[in-house]
């Protein structure tokens, strides 16, 4: 392996980790900023608390509930930040695409499409329909994907490939 290949791989991994981390940090911030999603999250949290209190004192296991919440957040981060970025970065590296538009728009579109991709994978009858709230969530996921792709582009894909030295 050449030194330039190894250097490129390290820069790509570093950019990938930072970009995915930035997207994961933006998810809860974006959910709190958007009023419709904040209201939906608040209603879900209240419903969760009421369910906990209705189960009785002996049935409450906060450790299991926190693990479930962590699993949900991890799944969301992978579906919205990690998988789109991995696909766009890999295809961009193979095709030699270094443009900001490729990385930002590609990550944005794949992140926004993640809920529908999951529905199609699970053969959901609602795979082709969307409510106004779902479209709003998709727009928010698109912006998070654009931010993730932009961070990756700034770190790992902004510079053009070094051409081979002349013989």
Q: Encode pLDDT of 33-64 as tens digits.
A: 888 888 877 777 777 667 666 666 555 566 66
Q: What is the pTM of this model?
A: 0.81
Q: Which domain holds residue 35?
A: 3-55+64-157
Cβ neighbourhood burial of 103 (10 Å; 0-12, 13-18, 19+): buried
Helix axes 35-55, 3-33, angle to 10 degrees: 80
Question: How far apart are the C-alpha atoms of 22 and 25, rounded to whole Å?
Answer: 5
Q: Is there a domain that residue 34 lies in?
A: yes
Q: Is there a domain that residue 164 lies in?
A: no
Q: Is there a domain that residue 167 lies in?
A: no
Question: How far apart are the C-alpha atoms of 153 and 159, rounded to whole Å?
Answer: 9
**The pLDDT of residue 162 is above 70:** no
Q: Count how many domains the chain has.
A: 1
Express each pLDDT in 95-131 by its tens digit.
988 899 999 999 999 999 998 888 888 888 877 777 8
Q: Is there a domain that residue 89 lies in?
A: yes
Q: Is there a domain that residue 166 lies in?
A: no
From the CB of residue 158, how many other CB atoms can be counted at a distance below 10 Å?
Answer: 13
Q: Is there a domain that residue 108 lies in?
A: yes
Q: Is there a domain that residue 31 lies in?
A: yes
Q: Is there a domain that residue 163 lies in?
A: no
Report the alpha-carbon angle 132-133-136, nearest 5: 90
């Amino acid at each position: 392996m050449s030194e330039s290949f190894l250097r490129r791989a390290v820069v790509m991994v570093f950019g990938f980790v930072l970009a995915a981390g930035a997207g994961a940090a933006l998810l809860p911030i974006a959910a709190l900023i958007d009023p419709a999603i904040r209201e939906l999250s608040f209603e879900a949290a209240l419903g969760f608390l009421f369910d906990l209190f209705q189960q009785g004192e002996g049935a409450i296991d906060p450790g299991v509930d926190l693990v479930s919440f962590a699993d949900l957040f991890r799944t969301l981060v992978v579906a919205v930040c990690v998988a789109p970025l991995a696909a766009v970065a890999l295809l961009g590296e193979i095709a030699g695409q270094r443009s900001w538009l490729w990385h930002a728009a590609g990550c944005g579109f794949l992140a926004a499409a993640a809920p529908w991709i999951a529905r199609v994978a699970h053969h959901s009858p609602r795979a082709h329909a969307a409510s106004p709230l779902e479209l709003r969530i998709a727009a928010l996921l698109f912006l998070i994907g654009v931010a993730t792709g932009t961070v990756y582009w700034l770190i790992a894909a902004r510079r053009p490939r070094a051409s081979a030295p002349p013989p």
